[in-house]
Structure 1
């Protein structure tokens, strides 16, 4: 895959309020001893009643601007990956444009659930490489706790809120971040993970219409593990790289059991994976930038590292992307 785009900065944000496993023990029939071995999650962040995905997105962008020598000057497109927009319309991307007063800028929300961040990066790379755009602000922002049924002990233990932002800019081919991507879709499995809105059926199958996220955890686990275990080798076969070349595997942090299972099938060391859900929960599209930020803060991810990003989620949609980490010049 030919690329003329690179990532030049990253920032993240999570709300202040924490929801621990001990807190959940007082809400539903569960326990820390049950949650941690099955999910790897110890706590998650919860947005305030008057705090929405746009608010988290703006704080993530501000964090990026404070950390890296990038600016919003000449941004000509805003892409926001979110499953929890403040409103169906206007989009979160439009609210970002309004907040920063960016002129001559397109604005678009992307609905790809937990794969949204990788999808947005792919679109940004394609739009810049094609010559249609020069500088794209990519954001993933979620307030999943607002669509969580806290009487459903199998789902409420998983979900948290957070946001991440990256800048993608035009560059010479020898400086590009993006190496190759692979995407797949299985719409027939959509009934296993959804949020009801207008419809009462998905492809003829009746859905629970309560406005909350509904998940068949057993089926989601099977689909995620089988999809990534099959598609990651197919992605690498189309490049000059192997799993041994990967410095860091950054999958969507749904839960640790999925990641352990995928790594086991691929014979890939789990210590070379980045996981953000332990203290942030499953933050859907935001989980990958949160994991990347943690890897950078801990001194694990370094400029030039080869990263494998894999997103999977409702749809079912999947996208894996092989890229070089190119953001540099971090401010202290």
Structure 2
């Protein structure tokens, strides 16, 4: 819904009275929400937080394009899938979220997105569906480079061997392969979900975390790498306590 915040609908179903707020930043919404929850806990504003994401991007796909131009305009959206994820964030005595870093390159915000639903284009089928150039989007991420990841590894004082798993937002298999090529992350560190589930937007990292969580030993670290439209990049180092 455009109003009220979806968080209020979730809260009503849970029957709580906690502070409820939406955090929206395309495919980085989930990790942004976790970071804000962590900040509130560190500031003494909260003891515990529930961060929830639910995505249905398949509803923004134009399955019956009028012509080839419309097909091409929305082609990058044909990998979309639907999913949800949630985590509870609370203070721990050791481990937990050790490091967060972000980079935002908003000069590229027009590369892809869903323009309808805001004050610019509140209605109209022409703005209802995802539009974006997949090749241009890939080019932008390659141009932006790996600086934020390099900084994170440097601060962590380790290379890829220091992480049990690396969770990466996934658009397509070729995109993921290119990410691995550019960063040097070993294939066995990745949790590959896109062939099975598609691009599940902000739920991607939460679903990947769920798939590896039980297999992680206390003290093992996981690197989250969020890649979102806008363009935003986010890293988060988390250690299982």
TM-score (norm 1): 0.64
Aligned residue for 1:57? none
Q: Distance in 2 between matches of 1:225 and 1:107?
A: 36
Q: Give the alignment of 1:1-332 within 5 angstroms.
A: 87-103=1-17, 105-150=18-63, 151=65, 152=71, 154-172=75-93, 175-197=94-116, 198-199=119-120, 209-227=126-144, 229-296=146-213, 299=215, 301-326=216-241
Aligned residue for 2:68? none
Q: Secondary structure at the match of 1:168?
A: strand
Is the 2:61–2:78 Cα contact (8 Å) retained in structure 1?
Answer: no
Q: Distance in 2 between matches of 1:220 and 1:122?
A: 25
Q: Report the CA distance between 1:213 and its aligned residue.
A: 1.2
Aligned residue for 1:6? none
CA RMSD between the two structures: 1.9
C-alpha offsets along residues 284-320 of structure 1, whole Å, 9 cap, x if unaligned? Answer: 00011111222246x4x44432111011111111111
TM-score (norm 2): 0.87
Q: Distance in 1 between matches of 2:142 and 2:23?
A: 24
Whichever structure has more helix as a proportion of its residues is: 2
Q: Report the CA distance between 1:229 and its aligned residue.
A: 2.3
Q: Distance in 1 between matches of 2:33 and 2:178?
A: 26
Q: Report the CA distance between 1:156 and its aligned residue.
A: 4.2
Q: Distance in 1 between matches of 2:185 and 2:79?
A: 25
Q: Report the CA distance between 1:282 and its aligned residue.
A: 0.5
Q: Distance in 1 between matches of 2:218 and 2:169?
A: 21
Is the 2:95–2:240 Cα contact (8 Å) retained in structure 1?
Answer: no
C-alpha offsets along residues 74-126 of structure 1, whole Å, 9 cap, x if unaligned? Answer: xxxxxxxxxxxxx11111110011011102x1111111111111111111111
Q: Secondary structure at the match of 1:263?
A: helix
Q: Distance in 2 between matches of 1:276 and 1:244?
A: 22
Q: Distance in 1 between matches of 2:41 and 2:237?
A: 17
Q: Distance in 1 between matches of 2:106 and 2:32?
A: 16
Moved over 6 A (4+): none
Q: Distance in 1 between matches of 2:188 and 2:105?
A: 30
Q: Report the CA distance between 1:275 and its aligned residue.
A: 2.0
Q: Distance in 2 between matches of 1:240 and 1:281?
A: 33
Is the 1:116–1:311 Cα contact (8 Å) retained in structure 2?
Answer: no
